[in-house]
Structure 1
Amino acid sequence: MTENTTTQLIQEVVDYLIETDTNELASWGEKRTEWLKQGGEQLKGIDKIISGDLRIKRDNGEIATYPAFRVQHNNACGYYKGGIRFSTGVNKAEVETLAMLMTLKNALHDLPYGGGKGGVHIDVRKHSDRELKEVSQAFVRLVQNDIGPYRDIPAPDVGSGAKLMDWMTQEYKNLHPNQPYINTFTGKSLENGGTKGRSESTGIGTFLSYYYLVDTVLDDTLTVDANYRDEREMIKSIGEKAEVKVAIQGFGNLSRAAAIEAEKADRKHTVIAVSDSRATIYNEEGLDVEGLAAFKEETDRLPNADELKEMNSGGDILEPEAVLTLACDVLILGAIEDQVTEKNQKDIKADILVEGANGPVTKEADEYLTAQGKVIIPDILANAGGVTVSYFEWIQGFTNEIKGKDEILKDMSNRMKSVSQRIYRQHFSSEHKESLRFLCFKLAVIRLVDTMKRSGDII
């Protein structure tokens, strides 16, 4: 989802709230329109952009330059919070969009954060650890005066991870002696103040966002408006299947955790396909998820045909994009943005799509698939497990209370369940036909504008 699409949807939500009587805004009175217009303008803008070129000496002696960005979108609900990605796809517009989505996500999940995002344009696969450490330290020097435990708290994202967060934390500590530093970054290693369960949390939460949808629909107490009867019946039919077939795009930390969670769910789910940037592995009868996960963690890739045979794991090797159009019930999108587009939307066979990645379904494809009766669980609802556990890590840094992995993931799951089921119940009972994405944006915008008016940011 591009920046223009995100700001466009924010404006559509604001216009809708101005024109439509909604119970959520009944107490706002005659200033409702003015508050919504002011708040909408703030949400379509950016508070601050820090950018620059990071220069390091590579192992071969050459000087290399890497464009870098940190975008602070909005802090109405709390300190800026969002990941830092190391990727060749990084550019200013992408980071701005991701920062906006973080603001909306944190508001939707009632987390005490605003939205931020960072990125470095780099191919991590072509760099040594020493080089990546130099780039990480240079990034901290670029943004050092604009981050901190009470200002902006970065975390890992695509291409980064605990190792890079550790390096960044140490650099920040060196630059700011005798100042609080441990909570400046989350997603650190356990030995450096990190939290158990952080690496799996986004993927587990992504799967659970779908699982709680089915739970909600199977609950006989659910109120269903006529607008949503067909949608409810479709989801119910999946929930009542003896075997739910799941395809997963991507096989990094997020997708591996989602696949493992699917396989151990109470209702039977069979993962029939996983993919990475090189290939899709497909087996209609189901894959050896744990074996594939172990292979991926060791080699950073999926096995080829010969290696699959050696693993005694059946499966066909297909093109990477094939995972998107396989016959399945649920498609989890855990790779990168703009994967389901106008070009392939008519070939999508899954009835439920779950956005583990940020913006994997374009606006045009979202509208087309929704019109076809498919359900898309949007990124700002589905992939909040990571930032939720980051919140726990942030708190841990103040209290020094170390919790076990099971307890942390249970707390995360309970928060995801509470938010998800509240949203799903509101969705199915609404008299107004709208997608889950629109509803999530609407609820996030309402919370943000309400917070702005209470704090006096809008009058």
Structure 2
Amino acid sequence: MPTASRVRENLNPHHIARQQFDSALPYLEDITDLKGMSEWLFEPERIVKLTLPVVMDDGGVRVFRGYRVLHNTARGPGKGGIRFLPDVNEDEVKALATWMTWKCAVVDVPFGGAKGGVDCDVTTMSSAERRRVTRRFISSLGDDIGPHTDIPAPDMYTDAQTMAWVFDTYHMMHPHENNLGVVTGKPLDLGGISGRNTATAQGLAYVLERLLELGEVPGVTGIKGSRVSVQGFGNVGRYSAFILRDMGASIVAVSDVAGGAADPNGLNLEEVEAHFKKTGSVLGAPGTHPLDAKGPLGVKCDILIPAALESQITLKNVDRVKAKVVIEGANGPTTPGADRVLADKGIVVVPDILANAGGVAVSYFEWIRNLENALQVELAEINQRLRTQMRDATKTVLATYHDLRNHVPAYQTRWRKATRDTQPLTPPDLRIAATATAVGRCWKARAERGIWP
């Protein structure tokens, strides 16, 4: 592998998603009609771009850009969050929608993939301004979302309150119908479900627990007694830290956009969280060593959880990683180049489409409850269902991984005959195994449904 200083990576997330897709294609069970089917499975079904004029609190008008991408509906209606970020763009949303398709398929949830975003900075906006942006976005989308077509959810800088506005806006435009299923991640009083806030982190913990039980990470036999470093102190990062701490791990570092806090003897998470709530950052929490925002990536630990943004572990900093396993709480945090370096160093990477799929699994439970107008489900039951689903998905991906590793020459020969490509295949890892599992399920659904008309 060339040194990081000599390599320039393309960090465009849609380009990265394409690389991951192409690396997995040779390992699919069925590559009949490869060119047409692969293009159909990768390209989005629909891209909606919107101009959103909004009246701000000062009476002036600001124009925002909104995006909603429906990637693939082979296995069910689109599903994916809405993020409010200043730099969100079409390629980012396309990549996230693509990963959502694979995420739903790998945990066998009958959804397709979708994603949305608005280029706004909510940290500078009032609640009334956020509400008006949300309502303008949803009203402009119109029937491009719906309980049986495309179902949003929370994402970065959106929450249950935002989803309440999504539901109410859609309901005002579609009166006299049961519209609860148009969005998940809602408040409990509006058809939400217990455990949705913690579902992504809880699912990550179940995947990690199963992985370690099966002996897949040399030198780490269980969560109890392990040392964990977390980049990101939002919903996923914060809850992951608390959940794993409660399972017996020691959390040695955390960070947010402003900086980080570390303690090799283990952080007092309650004190760190109190400092975060008081100051807006974990940086400077009492009794901790300061880090920069990416500092946890280089902390010596057993388990590293990148739970911030895309492309955080790259060829420029991958050599800093000292963990034995990287489990991705964020979407797309590790570049393909960094993946190969980590693999060469013997560091296991648990891919995002498996590791952080707990959120969409519990969203599915909420959606079913809404369609049936059913009563609330107890948190213990939700977590048990989630645990079963995530452990089963982990077992499936691991079985695929070991099967691929044992038959690389056969896949290589088949690929050369089908494509005349003589380049060696990318050695299978857990990301390739998870992607091949997911894409294979979508491929099968597409083939069984056929092309209409």
Q: Give the TM-score, by structure 2 length.
A: 0.89
Match of 1:446 in 2: 440
Give deviations 1:194-243, integer Å, cap 9, x for gaps. Answer: 111000111111232222110112xxxxxxxxxxxxxx4xx242116972
Alignment of 1:284-295 (within 5 A): 284-295=264-275
Query: Which runs of 5 or more structure 2 residues have no equivalent in the other structure?
Result: 1-10, 409-426
Instruction: Determine whether 1:131 maps to 2:104.
Output: no
Supply the AA of the counterpart residue of 1:435. D
Match of 2:364 in 1: 391
Task: Write the distance in 2 (CA, Å) between the matches of 1:244 and 1:457.
Answer: 50
Match of 2:112 in 1: 114
Task: Write the distance in 2 (CA, Å) between the matches of 1:407 and 1:442.
Answer: 31
* Corresponding residue SS for 2:238: helix
Choose from 85, 89, 99 the match for 2:83: 85
Match of 2:420 in 1: none
Give deviations 1:431-455, integer Å, cap 9, x for gaps. Answer: 0351110111111111111111111
Task: Write the distance in 1 (CA, Å) between the matches of 2:335 and 2:353.
Answer: 14
Cα deviation for residue 363 of structure 1 reads 1.1
CA contact (8 A) 1:199 1:253 kept: yes
* Corresponding residue SS for 2:201: helix
* Corresponding residue SS for 1:112: coil
Supply the AA of the counterpart residue of 2:396. R
* Corresponding residue SS for 2:181: coil
Instruction: Determine whether 1:406 maps to 2:359.
Output: no
Supply the AA of the counterpart residue of 2:384. K
* Corresponding residue SS for 1:343: coil
Cα deviation for residue 127 of structure 1 reads 0.2
Task: Write the distance in 1 (CA, Å) between the matches of 2:137 and 2:279.
Answer: 25
Measured at CA, do residues 236 and 342 of structure 1 come closer, stay the same or move farther in structure 2, by a change above 3 Å? closer
Supply the AA of the counterpart residue of 2:299. L
Cα deviation for residue 180 of structure 1 reads 2.7
Task: Write the distance in 1 (CA, Å) between the matches of 2:132 and 2:80.
Answer: 21
Cα deviation for residue 422 of structure 1 reads 2.2
Give deviations 1:321-354, integer Å, cap 9, x for gaps. Answer: 2111011111001111110011101111112111
Supply the AA of the counterpart residue of 2:364. Y
Cα deviation for residue 43 of structure 1 reads 1.6
Measured at CA, do residues 129 and 368 of structure 1 come closer, stay the same or move farther in structure 2, by a change above 3 Å? same
Match of 1:258 in 2: 240
Instruction: Determine whether 1:367 maps to 2:340.
Output: yes
Instruction: Determine whether 1:437 maps to 2:431.
Output: yes
* Corresponding residue SS for 1:155: coil
CA contact (8 A) 1:326 1:348 kept: yes
Instruction: Determine whether 1:302 maps to 2:293.
Output: no
Measured at CA, do residues 42 and 300 of structure 1 come closer, stay the same or move farther in structure 2, by a change above 3 Å? farther
Measured at CA, do residues 410 and 115 of structure 1 come closer, stay the same or move farther in structure 2, by a change above 3 Å? same
Supply the AA of the counterpart residue of 1:41. E
Task: Write the distance in 1 (CA, Å) between the matches of 2:280 and 2:212.
Answer: 32
Measured at CA, do residues 397 and 299 of structure 1 come closer, stay the same or move farther in structure 2, by a change above 3 Å? farther
Task: Write the distance in 1 (CA, Å) between the matches of 2:433 and 2:278.
Answer: 41
CA contact (8 A) 1:276 1:301 kept: no
Cα deviation for residue 304 of structure 1 reads 4.8
Task: Write the distance in 1 (CA, Å) between the matches of 2:385 and 2:114.
Answer: 24
Choose from 290, 299, 305 the match for 1:317: 290
CA contact (8 A) 1:38 1:458 kept: no
Instruction: Determine whether 1:196 maps to 2:194.
Output: yes
CA contact (8 A) 1:248 1:332 kept: yes
CA contact (8 A) 1:14 1:37 kept: no
Instruction: Determine whether 1:147 maps to 2:126.
Output: no
CA contact (8 A) 2:80 2:113 kept: yes
Supply the AA of the counterpart residue of 1:369. L
Task: Write the distance in 2 (CA, Å) between the matches of 1:386 and 1:247.
Answer: 21
Further displaced range: 249-258 or 75-84: 249-258
Task: Write the distance in 2 (CA, Å) between the matches of 1:80 and 1:188.
Answer: 17
* Corresponding residue SS for 1:54: strand
* Corresponding residue SS for 1:53: strand
- Aligned identity (percent) is 34
Supply the AA of the counterpart residue of 1:365. A
Further displaced range: 2-11 or 93-102: 2-11
Query: Which runs of 5 or more structure 1 residues have no equivalent in the other structure?
Result: 18-23, 26-31, 218-231
Match of 2:225 in 1: 243
Task: Write the distance in 2 (CA, Å) between the matches of 1:207 and 1:408.
Answer: 15
Give deviations 1:122-145, integer Å, cap 9, x for gaps. Answer: 111000000000000001111121
CA contact (8 A) 1:39 1:458 kept: no
Q: Give the TM-score, by structure 1 length.
A: 0.88
Give deviations 1:237-274, integer Å, cap 9, x for gaps. Answer: 21169721100001111111111111122xx3100001
Task: Write the distance in 1 (CA, Å) between the matches of 2:178 and 2:104.
Answer: 24
Measured at CA, do residues 295 and 7 of structure 1 come closer, stay the same or move farther in structure 2, by a change above 3 Å? same
Give deviations 1:59-114, integer Å, cap 9, x for gaps. Answer: 12221111000000110000000000001231000000000110111111111101
Task: Write the distance in 1 (CA, Å) between the matches of 2:231 and 2:14.
Answer: 23
* Corresponding residue SS for 1:170: helix
Task: Write the distance in 1 (CA, Å) between the matches of 2:223 and 2:56.
Answer: 55
Supply the AA of the counterpart residue of 1:173. H
CA contact (8 A) 1:10 1:43 kept: no
Supply the AA of the counterpart residue of 1:344. N
Match of 1:5 in 2: 16
Task: Write the distance in 1 (CA, Å) between the matches of 2:168 and 2:226.
Answer: 46
Count how many residue pairs are aligned between Structure 1 and Structure 2.
421
